[in-house]
Amino acid sequence: MLSKLKSERELQVVAGAFALFGLIVPLLHLFVPETSPLHVPDYLVQLLGKFACFAMAALALDLIWGFTGVLSLGQGVFFALGGYCMGMYLMRSMAGMGVYKSELPDFMVFLDWKELPWYWQGFDSFPFALVMAMVVPGILAFCFGFLAFRSRIRGVYFSIITQAMTFAMMLLFFRNETGFGGNNGLTDFKKLVGYSMQDDATKLTLYVISIVALFGSYFICRALTRSKAGRVLKAIRDVESKTMFCGYNTRDFKLFAWTFAAVLSGLAGALYVPQVGIINPSEMEPSASIEMAIWVAVGGRGTLVGAMLGAGVVNGMKSWLTASYPDAWLYALAALFVLVTLLLPDGLVGLIKRLAAMKRPKAPSNPGAIVAPEAGKA
Amino acid sequence: MLVRWLLVLCAVVMPTVVHADAFSDAVGKLASEDQDTVRSGVQEIAVSGDARSLGVLHALRDGKLKVDGSVVVQEDGSKWKRAVDGSVITPSSKPRKVASNNAVRRAMAPAIARLELTSKDVTLRRAAAEELRRSTPPEELAPVLREAYKAEKDPQTKGSLELALADVDLASRDAAKRYEAVRILGARGDIAFKSKLEPLVERDSDGSYREPDGKVREAAAEVLSSLRWKELTNRIVGDIMYGLSLGSVLLLAALGLAITFGLMGVINMAHGEILMLGAYSSYVVQILFQRHFPEHFDMYIFVALPVAFVVCALVGIAIERTILRFLYGRPLETLLATWGVSLALIQTVRLLFGAQNVAVAAPSFLSGGWEMLEGVVLPYNRMVIVLFGALVVAFVWMILTRTRLGLEVRAVTQNRGMAACMGISTARVDMYTFGIGSGVAGLGGVALSQIGNVGPELGQNYIVDSFMVVVLGGVGKLAGTVIGAFGLGIVNKLLEPVSGAVLGKIIVLGLIILFIQKRPQGIFALKGRAVEG
Amino acid sequence: MTSWKERMKEEPTVAAVEALAESVNAESPATEPGWKSSILFVDNITVSFDGFKAIKNLSLTLQPGELRCIIGPNGAGKTTMLDVITGKTKPTEGKVYMHGQSVELTARSEYEIARLGVGRKFQRPTVLPNHTVFENLELTLAAPKGVFTSLFHKLNGTEKDRIDHILKTIGLKDEATRDAGLLSHGQKQWLEIGMLLGQNPKVLLVDEPVAGMTHQEVEATAALLTGLAGDHTVVVIEHDMEFIRSIARGQQVTVLAEGTVLAEGTFDQVQSDKKVIEVYLGEAA
């Protein structure tokens, strides 16, 4: 009964947040005069839209790490791949509007390419690009995961080879010959399905779509984690061998969660790129993927709300510090990595639960503490 | 440099005889505004046989020859001299440059060389012959070359001349001469001749061979195939040598990791930054030597090594004591926490030394290289790193197998609980092991500072490779790490010429991922109960 | 004079075991009798780790409904044998079959073997610590266990009844909504047995079920296991001779030593077997 109550409270919190970000923020942006302290300025809308995409990526990572116990250091690659798919559409949709007035993207003209490479075909269609933004990361994750889980690579080994994959993908995308704009990536976008990307209305719409997508993802993940399959994933995280002896093909379950997480990250990346107006290989740097892990860890892994909260808090800090105290940001991030792993294994959500339990001394015998999952026991 | 200086000297002491002859006429032509006339002037000077020719041509090459009206003048310090006789004159106006184009410049080099070949100075003749060998001499020089070849006593000059002649003969109309030339080139077997022989076996666009004579073609094809073979073997030997050198760099980078990850099961993502600290220690010691003991500068490297070891070991111990010891048995948490440490270290170095790369000057005895095979030059610093890598491996091996600490480390690795029961202070052993692993990384950092850029992001470039080496070799096995490092280095270098450096690296990473499929435990797998724990 | 039971817990001398194992190997036929009707047939398996043979030419035949106790000193290969049967370790040589020779287990992975009806209880009680007792049982119930069926699976009435029944059987009805990680050691042992019951396996492999249990719990476990035999085939691995004596009751007991079968027979037969006494007592007195 208690868990039911808790889950209802969680739903209330999430619904409140959804109303705040999906409804009140746009209203404050549109109808409150700029002089008012309640006005939400342009840059804040954009920032929150970005955070919504990060929060989606955090949900994905939480699914595979927090719930399944597999720490992926390659989530940034899937995010970036989704972003690249969207970027390719945006590049195609501005054919003839570039510096060279060519049908081809500018960087291809610059490389003296005469025609579109085969893998750019079809990206002039928005639905195709959107689907590919999920399919491409999904296929990469499926193939990689199939090989890795089949040979029972677990724990830190898995993390390390996902990092190697990330590194390899980053190198690949840095090359000009790969055909994604090399170092500079894809940028200077002009139009999204016919609307100018500079328009305030387009930006606000993108923001609202991101918020809706985030909460949609949350509910899908929630349903997933509360299904029997979700319980199997948690069982794999805690005692994989036992789960196998219970008759579950843990490889299939891990592969499913891993692929699903990649698809979700890809979607997040696809929403992210039109809002920031650029995608380049720096999104694939190993550090970007590890940073995602700290979002989840700060919020509280194994809880979906925690993942979203963590993405918001860490990125909010990042935006503030890199603007105000640029030298301090890396130290702050370093401190987060160290302190959260040492002192807050359950993240902010765990802290809140603990504080709540202290307030109610007559709490039930189970204080709701999450036993630290023995993830990564190789 | 010496040659040029001598020539200037020659020009200055040249006898100042004035007479209208072929030489004066030819020099006069240099004053023309028509480049073709200038070019024929250059060629005529070369064949004039006059002792002053070389000096004039040299002045022309060095841009010291100018034209004042119709008189050719030579710049000599602040004064001007007539080029023909060396008499000092005052130019009427600012002298203009000698009209020159590519044809003129092309004519100049062999013309000068021709004169130099007859010089009495062996160094000069050698240089000239070598110059001729490199360029394709014009056919009209052939008789001069032959003459010089016959007269030449110095074997090195003679060898160069022989090749230059063969080169000329290759273009000859006489098939027998061409055949002989091919034979000579074949006997010498320089890979550089490949491009000269290739046209002989090619077909023109109409399908006919460029070389009409079948015998010459055959000989050329034979020589070519042997040259190609030689080139391939040289290249492979070279790649393997470069691979060994890269492998030893990887080994030095990964060895510390093999200790901390392999023996202690600690994922230290800050390992790359400890390498970086080692490199910066080397930088700081170098600066101190530059300031205080510039006369013993080369010795700094011997001070840098222990300093780097101690600095890195202390940093490693600090990390172990303050963070890692609370996280044993939680490898994923260790991974995140040490990543945080790595960020802090990078930022600290950035604030202390700046975000830019710093220059670490190598000691003079490490510069230069040894040409092992044609086209395969092994720089001394790379060779020393291979040796150094071997020494460090031996050092680590000695510590692990020959010391009390090593015994305790192995005991703790195998059974922590049992080791503790036997009175081994596992905390102390952990601390020392981590210290040694980090110290060894510091030594690797000093080695890296000798071959590449030193910057705050140095470690990031090595961390993925280092982990790959350890995982590939099999965790907990020193021999595996060594083989993993060299295997990775060699495969990388063998792939590089085929696929390019970046793609090669990507392929290698892909191959490792596939390899781990087959052997998840690495090359040297631990088997049995130890694995299942 | 020390009782032989206590002496049996001591390590036998290596030389004695080796000599004996050799003579036993020479005597035992290549194929066990009665394998055709067997439910589980371990056919001459060898497992070596880096040259060390944890199991040497071990054969074992279990008939449906049988309760088989397996005893043996430390390092006899008992747990390794369970690892081989459940697919955790692949044998270097030999095979494991179910139903005569109709189903080969050695080619299959852990989860397939589990689905074929081989359940295992680990030496240390292994439950899912962050799931409630109820969920622990739910996950083990014999039901389709694919990814997509699990995604949309809803517990039906019969399944709920079955979980309820098991909860009553193992006495954890009141703990159903607690996280299994918070249970006491004995409760975890019971829960794990309950999870085995939920799986409804044909063969139950039980590794040291009474370790760390109170006297009453031991008795209850003995009753439970003997009750299960008949419907299920039960294999019990145990050090505790008292416990073995209480459940063996005329059933076959197998003695393992140095990775091979040393003796097989009723408890009394085994107890008076010369080879067994030699191994456990060292030099024959």
C148-198 residue pLDDT tens: 888 888 888 888 899 998 898 888 888 888 999 898 888 888 898 888 888
Q: Which residues of A touch B327 (CB under 8 A)?
A: 341-342
Contact A300, A348 (CB under 8 A): yes
Q: What was the pLDDT predicted at B416?
A: 78
Per-residue pLDDT tens for C214-267?
A: 888 888 888 888 888 888 899 998 877 788 888 887 788 888 888 888 888 888
Measured distance CA(B201)–CA(B378) in Å, rounded: 34
Measured distance CA(B332)–CA(B320) in Å, rounded: 16
Mean per-residue pLDDT, B325-345: 89
Q: Which residue of C has its CA nearest to A225?
A: C151
Which segments of chain C are extended strands (E)? 40-49, 52-62, 67-71, 93-98, 103-104, 118-121, 203-207, 233-237, 253-257, 260-265
Mean per-residue pLDDT, C98-108: 81
Q: Please indicate if any CB of chain B lies within 8 Å of the CB of C50.
A: yes
What 3-state class would DSSP assign to A194? coil
Q: Is the pLDDT of residue A84 over 90?
A: yes
Q: Which residues of C touch A346 (CB under 8 A)?
A: none
More confident residue, A6 or A272: A272
Residue A19's φ and ψ, nearest 5 degrees, are -65, -40
Closest in B323, B505, B513 to A338, CB measured:
B323
Range with lowest mean pLDDT among A279-288, B135-144, B432-441, C20-29: C20-29
Measured distance CA(A320)–CA(A329) in Å, rounded: 9
Determine the angle formed by the axes of helices A228-238 and A200-226, rounding to 10 degrees. Answer: 80
Q: Which residues of B touch A157 (CB under 8 A)?
A: 471, 516, 520
Contact B393, B443 (CB under 8 A): no
* A245 contacts C114? CB cut-off 8 A: yes
Task: Choose among B498, B449, B474, B494: nearest CA to B247.
Answer: B494
Q: Which residues of C touch B532 (CB under 8 A)?
A: 88
- For strand B96-97 and strand B369-373, is the pairing parallel, antiparallel, or unpaired? unpaired
Q: Which residue of B has its CA nearest to A66?
A: B332
Residue holding tokens 């439970």? C224
What 3-state class would DSSP assign to A238? helix
Q: What was the pLDDT predicted at B1?
A: 52
Per-residue pLDDT tens for C267-285?
A: 888 888 888 777 765 544 3
Determine the angle formed by the axes of helices B175-188 and B194-201, rounding to 10 degrees. Answer: 140
What 3-state class would DSSP assign to B97? strand
CA C22 to chain centre: 25
Query: Contact partners of C by the rule of 3+ C-beta pairs under 8 A?
Result: A, B
Looking at the complex, report in whole angstroms how far the Cα of residue A368 sits from the nearest Cα belonging to chain C. 10
Range with lowest mean pLDDT among A80-89, B56-65, B429-438, B489-498: B56-65
Spell out the SS3 assignment of B214-230.
HHHHHHHHHHHHHHHHH
Q: What was the pLDDT predicted at C2?
A: 40
What lies within 8 Å, CB to CB, of B500 at 6+ separation is: none
Task: Choose among A261, A281, A180, A74: nearest CA to B513.
Answer: A74
Q: What was the pLDDT predicted at B494?
A: 85
User: Residue B214, class by beta-carbon neighbours within 10 Å (0-12 exposed, 13-18 middle, 19+ buried)?
Assistant: exposed
Q: What was the pLDDT predicted at A105?
A: 86
Q: Which residue of A has its CA nearest to C145?
A: A248
Looking at the complex, report in whole angstroms how far the Cα of residue C117 sits from the nearest Cα belonging to chain A. 9
More confident residue, B38 or B171: B38
Most B-contacting residue of C47, C48, C49, C55 (CB-CB within 10 A), to test interface: C49
Identify the band that residue A104 occupies on the pLDDT scale cut at 50, 70 and 90: confident
Touching B: A residues 36-75, CB under 8 Å: 71
Interface size, chain A vs chain C, as Cβ–Cβ contacts under 8 Å = 96
Looking at the complex, report in whole angstroms how far the Cα of residue C73 sits from the nearest Cα belonging to chain B. 18
Mean per-residue pLDDT, A203-208: 92
Q: What was the pLDDT predicted at C239?
A: 77
Q: What was the pLDDT predicted at A367?
A: 42
Q: Is the pLDDT of residue B196 over 50?
A: yes
Q: What was the pLDDT predicted at C104?
A: 83
Q: Which residue of C has its CA nearest to B527?
A: C49
More confident residue, B442 or B197: B442
Contact B473, B465 (CB under 8 A): no
Q: Please indicate if any CB of chain A lies within 8 Å of the CB of C145.
A: yes
Q: Please indicate if any CB of chain A lies within 8 Å of the CB of B532.
A: no
Looking at the complex, report in whole angstroms how far the Cα of residue A164 sits from the nearest Cα belonging to chain C. 28
Q: Which residues of B touch A335 (CB under 8 A)?
A: 340, 344
Per-residue pLDDT tens for A228-247?
A: 999 999 999 998 888 988 88
Contact B479, B528 (CB under 8 A): no
Identify the band that residue A4 occupies on the pLDDT scale cut at 50, 70 and 90: low
Contact B128, B98 (CB under 8 A): no
Sequence letter at residue A72: S
Q: What is the CA radius of gyration of chain C?
A: 20
Q: Is the pLDDT of residue B526 over 70?
A: no
* A338 contacts B337? CB cut-off 8 A: yes
Q: Is the pLDDT of residue B533 over 50?
A: no
Mean per-residue pLDDT, A208-223: 94
Range with lowest mean pLDDT among A87-101, B336-350, B393-407, C7-21: C7-21
Q: Is the pLDDT of residue B20 over 70?
A: no
Range with lowest mean pLDDT among A317-331, B37-51, B401-415: B37-51
* A370 contacts C130? CB cut-off 8 A: yes
DSSP state of C107: T
Residue ranges of chain A whose CB lies within 8 Å of a chain C CB: 1-3, 224, 227-229, 231-232, 234-235, 238-239, 241-250, 252-253, 256, 365-366, 370-371, 373
Closest in B332, B341, B471 to A334, CB measured:
B341
Q: Please indicate if any CB of chain C lies within 8 Å of the CB of B527.
A: yes
Measured distance CA(A80)–CA(A94) in Å, rounded: 21
Q: Which residue of C has its CA nearest to B525?
A: C50
Spell out the SS3 assignment of B335-375.
HHHHHHHHHHHHHHHHHHHCCCCECCCCCHHHCCEEEEECC
Residue holding tokens 């760099």? B249
Q: What was the pLDDT predicted at B445?
A: 92
Q: Which residue of B has its CA nearest to A72?
A: B332
Measured distance CA(B271)–CA(A344) in Å, rounded: 24
Residue C6 token pair: 């206590």
CA dist A343 → A333, A352, B315, B323, C73 (Å)? 15, 14, 22, 11, 44
Identify the band that residue B527 occupies on the pLDDT scale cut at 50, 70 and 90: very low
How many Cβ atoms sit within 10 Å of the Cβ of residue C164? 14
Identify the band that residue A369 occupies on the pLDDT scale cut at 50, 70 and 90: very low
Q: Which residues of A touch B513 (CB under 8 A)?
A: 144, 147-148, 161, 164-165
Q: What was the pLDDT predicted at B138?
A: 66
* A246 contacts C153? CB cut-off 8 A: no
Mean predicted lDDT score pLDDT of chain B: 81
Per-residue pLDDT tens for C33-60?
A: 666 678 888 888 888 877 788 888 888 8
Mean per-residue pLDDT, B113-136: 76
Q: Please indicate if any CB of chain B lies within 8 Å of the CB of A345.
A: yes
Mean per-residue pLDDT, B42-59: 79
Residue B181's φ and ψ, nearest 5 degrees, are -60, -45
Q: Please indicate if any CB of chain B lies within 8 Å of the CB of C49.
A: yes
Q: Which residues of C touch A243 (CB under 8 A)?
A: 128, 139
Touching B: A residues 94-113, CB under 8 Å: none
Q: What was the pLDDT predicted at A365?
A: 46
Measured distance CA(C184)–CA(C187) in Å, rounded: 5
Q: Is the pLDDT of residue B214 over 60?
A: yes
Residue holding tokens 């890809």? A266
Residue C12 token pair: 């036998």
Measured distance CA(B387)–CA(B393) in Å, rounded: 10
Closest in A157, A294, A341 to B327, CB measured:
A341
Q: What was the pLDDT predicted at A371?
A: 43
Most A-contacting residue of B336, B342, B502, B505 (CB-CB within 10 A), to test interface: B336
Measured distance CA(B485)–CA(B477) in Å, rounded: 12
Measured distance CA(C188)–CA(C192) in Å, rounded: 6
Q: Which residues of A touch B260 (CB under 8 A)?
A: none
Q: Please indicate if any CB of chain B lies within 8 Å of the CB of A155.
A: yes
Per-residue pLDDT tens for A169-191?
A: 999 999 888 889 888 899 888 88
Q: Please indicate if any CB of chain A lies within 8 Å of the CB of B505.
A: yes
CA dist B202 → B196, B198, B211, B326, C86 (Å)? 11, 7, 8, 72, 69
More confident residue, B504 or A130: A130
Q: What was the pLDDT predicted at B369?
A: 77
Q: What was the pLDDT predicted at C24?
A: 42
Q: What was the pLDDT predicted at B22?
A: 78
Q: What was the pLDDT predicted at B277?
A: 95
Contact B194, B224 (CB under 8 A): yes
Q: What was the pLDDT predicted at B68?
A: 79
Identify the band that residue B43 occupies on the pLDDT scale cut at 50, 70 and 90: confident
Identify the band that residue B63 occupies on the pLDDT scale cut at 50, 70 and 90: confident
Measured distance CA(B49)–CA(B44) in Å, rounded: 9
Most A-contacting residue of B334, B343, B461, B466 (CB-CB within 10 A), to test interface: B343
Measured distance CA(C238)–CA(C243) in Å, rounded: 8
Task: Choose among A269, A261, A273, A266: nearest CA to A220.
Answer: A261
Show the DSSP H helices in A20-105 as ranges. Answer: 25-31, 42-61, 75-93
Q: What is the dihedral of CA B298, B299, B303, B308, to 10 degrees?
A: 20
Long-range contacts of C261-268 (CB under 8 A, 24+ apart): C261/C24, C261/C28, C261/C58, C261/C59, C261/C60, C262/C20, C262/C21, C262/C24, C262/C72, C263/C24, C267/C69
Q: What was the pLDDT predicted at A374?
A: 40
Q: What was the pLDDT predicted at C207?
A: 86
Closest in C88, C128, C147 to A229, CB measured:
C147
DSSP state of B203: B
Residue A364 token pair: 């039930």
Q: What is the CB-side half-sphere exposure of residue B504 using CA atoms within 13 A?
A: 15
Q: Which residues of C touch B529 (CB under 8 A)?
A: 49
Per-residue pLDDT tens for C130-143?
A: 999 999 999 888 77
Q: Please indicate if any CB of chain A lies within 8 Å of the CB of B501.
A: no
Mean predicted lDDT score pLDDT of chain A: 87
* A229 contacts C151? CB cut-off 8 A: yes
Measured distance CA(C247)–CA(C258) in Å, rounded: 25
Range with lowest mean pLDDT among A218-227, B232-241, B317-326, C8-17: C8-17
Identify the band that residue A363 occupies on the pLDDT scale cut at 50, 70 and 90: very low
Q: Is the pLDDT of residue A62 over 90?
A: yes
Measured distance CA(A173)–CA(B530) in Å, rounded: 40
Mean per-residue pLDDT, C6-14: 40
Measured distance CA(A18)–CA(B144) in Å, rounded: 93
Contact B391, B443 (CB under 8 A): no
**In chain A, how long is the greatest CA-to-CA distance?**
74
Q: Is the pLDDT of residue B6 over 60?
A: no
Q: Is the pLDDT of residue C21 over 50?
A: no
More confident residue, C24 or B355: B355
Looking at the complex, report in whole angstroms how far the Cα of residue B403 sits from the nearest Cα belonging to chain A. 30
More confident residue, B312 or C143: B312
The rounded percent of chain A whose pLDDT value lies above 70 is: 94
